[in-house]
């Protein structure tokens, strides 16, 4: 699966930029609060408008403090998958239950240097694990290779039936890095600059899909 990130899109032309990625599996929307990360993007009102403007399932990546308070609103608005950061969450199990009760998939994200082992029990409550392969905050950064060890750990636990999760990766995914991420066991690839930086975003999505399968 490919989830283009609109962080690299033109924010003045968001409806057109959504139309340009028709046929992608998810559209990844980065919500940043200038507190959990040193950058500010958009929030619930913009997500509500995006939901009206597209049929592509919306994948909200909440890089915000206090997701315990704010995450469920994105699920209630109709986001398909809502991901919170374990580093920001006070009660991640309660968040997952709230998200699912509101009809969304529940996602948990870990930063590049956050280990996954302490959260294996918590992950039983989740549908998606989003492994960050850059420090959250900005598009266009270089892929951090060592996060693939965490992907392999989780892939093993999913394949042996210990966890039931979709494994998503975010940051620095391009034609080169996607093959290694796929090999490590990623199911869903977020790509910002590799899609919106391309002359033809649709072709870029098709090419990334082919490279992930190679
Ligand atoms: C970074 C965001 C990413 C970003 C990825 O904090 O979470 O979703 O858009 O951009 P690229 O694909 O350019 O690394
Ligand atoms: Zn993201």
Binding site annotation covers 61? yes
Give residue 53 CA to ligand 2 midpoint distance, Å.
20
30 given a catalytic annotation: yes
**Residue 170 CB less than 6 A away from ligand 1:** yes
Short-list 168, 206, 202, 172, CA closest to 187: 168
Output the DSSP codes for 130-155: EEESS-TT-SSPPP-TTHHHHHHHHH
Q: Specify the pLDDT at position 214.
A: 85
Give residue 30 CA to ligand 1 midpoint distance, Å.
8
Task: Please report the atom of ligand 1 found closest to the CA of residue 61.
Answer: 7
> pLDDT digits over 76-112, tens only?
999 999 999 999 999 999 999 999 999 999 999 999 9
Short-list 71, 101, 105, CA closest to 86: 71
Give residue 190 CA to ligand 2 midpoint distance, Å.
7
Residue of 25, 33, 127, 170 marked active site: 170
Interface predicted TM-score (ipTM): 0.99
- Structural domains of the chain sorted by starting position, each given as residue range(s) with its CATH number in brackets: 2-213 (3.20.20.70)
Task: Please report the atom of ligand 1 found closest to the CA of residue 136.
Answer: 6
Q: Specify the pLDDT at position 110.
A: 98
Task: Please report the atom of ligand 1 found closest to the CA of residue 132.
Answer: 7
Binding site annotation covers 193? yes
Q: In what order do the strands lie in the sheet with 81-85?
A: 2-4, 188-191, 166-170, 128-132, 105-110, 81-85, 58-63, 27-32
Residue of 25, 30, 98, 187 marked active site: 30
**pTM for the whole structure:** 0.98
Listed as ranges, residues in the chain with pLDDT below 70 are none
> pLDDT digits over 131-151, tens only?
999 999 999 999 999 999 999
* Token pair listed for 92: 């991640």
Q: Specify the pLDDT at position 154.
A: 98
């Amino acid at each position: 699966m490919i989830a283009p990130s609109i962080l690299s899109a033109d924010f003045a032309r968001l409806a057109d930029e959504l139309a340009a990625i028709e046929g992608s599996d998810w559209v990844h929307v980065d919500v940043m609060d200038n507190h959990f990360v040193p950058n500010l993007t958009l929030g619930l009102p913009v997500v509500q408008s995006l939901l009206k403007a597209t049929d592509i399932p919306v994948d909200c990546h909440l890089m915000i403090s206090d997701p315990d308070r704010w995450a469920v609103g994105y699920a209630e608005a109709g986001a398909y998958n809502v991901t919170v950061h374990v580093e920001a969450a006070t009660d991640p199990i309660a968040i997952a239950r709230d998200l699912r009760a509101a009809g969304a998939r529940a996602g948990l994200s870990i930063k590049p240097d956050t280990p996954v082992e302490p959260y294996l029990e918590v992950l039983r409550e989740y549908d998606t694990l989003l492994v960050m392969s850059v420090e959250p905050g900005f598009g266009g950064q270089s892929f951090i290779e060592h996060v693939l060890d965490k992907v392999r750990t989780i892939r093993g636990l999913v394949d042996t039936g210990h966890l039931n999760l979709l494994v998503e990766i975010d940051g620095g995914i391009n034609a080169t890095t996607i093959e290694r991420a796929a090999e490590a066991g990623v199911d869903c690839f977020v790509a910002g600059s590799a899609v919106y930086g391309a002359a033809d975003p649709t072709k870029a999505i098709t090419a990334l899909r082919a490279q992930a399968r190679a």
